[in-house]
Structure 1
Amino acid sequence: MTDLAPIMEKTHEWASKYAQKKGFILNPDEEALNMVIEGLSRNKQEHGKQYCPCRLRTGNEDEDRKIICPCIFHHDEIENDGSCHCSLFFKV
């Protein structure tokens, strides 16, 4: 297994840019943020896609495509709950 740190760095950079572009903020709790970034990075490393770590993959490629971060659910979750299910992106 390769070192996860470079993948985590790229994932964090991507998430920051995405949040800024969409008018969100990243989780202000650094520990929680790092846990989500680590989960996304581990999924990228092990499965080739940054699947949301808070959602279960089904093994069905078409279904699982919906949970690649940013997943299809995040806009509604942020609007309705203030953050996405994984607590990566938050409403400003």
Structure 2
Amino acid sequence: MSSMNASQFVENVASRRRWVLNKDQDFLSMLVEGLEANYDRLGYLQCPCRLSWDDREKDKDIVCPCVYAQADIDEYGHCFCSLFFDGEYDFSKNEPTSIPERRPENLFP
């Protein structure tokens, strides 16, 4: 997957879900590069901010966008990695906050 495709993927996800992407272009690029590296290594878009089992079945909850993203966005305005934000998020008034991990410990590698 090329960076153009990973970038397009996250843009498409954000558009479909009425989310927006992180406005910090350097941070956004780092996350997209992490998705690309995981795709190259694993063959799937594993969340760049979480540890992987390197097994698609065990990682199915953290394939981007992870199953925890919507709950994080509903509660905090952005997902765990700060890749996706609520479409109404006011970047001029808010800084992304640290979000507690929702992934159950038994799913950690």
Q: Which residue is equivalent to 2:11?
A: 16
The runs of 4+ residues in structure 1 deviating greater than 2 Å are 58-63
TM-score normalised by structure 1 residue count: 0.87
Amino acid in structure 1 at the alignment position of 2:62: I
Fraction of identical pairs, as percent = 33
Largest Rg, 1 or 2: 2
Moved more, 52-61 or 75-84: 52-61
TM-score normalised by structure 2 residue count: 0.74
| CA-to-aligned-CA distance 1:43-65 (integer Å, 9 cap, x gap) | 00111011001011134543311
Point out where structure 1 has 5 or more consecutive residues left out of the alignment: 1-5
Q: Which residue is equivalent to 2:32?
A: 37
SS at the partner of 1:25? strand
- The Cα RMSD (Å) is 1.3
Higher helix share: 1
Point out where structure 2 has 5 or more consecutive residues left out of the alignment: 88-109
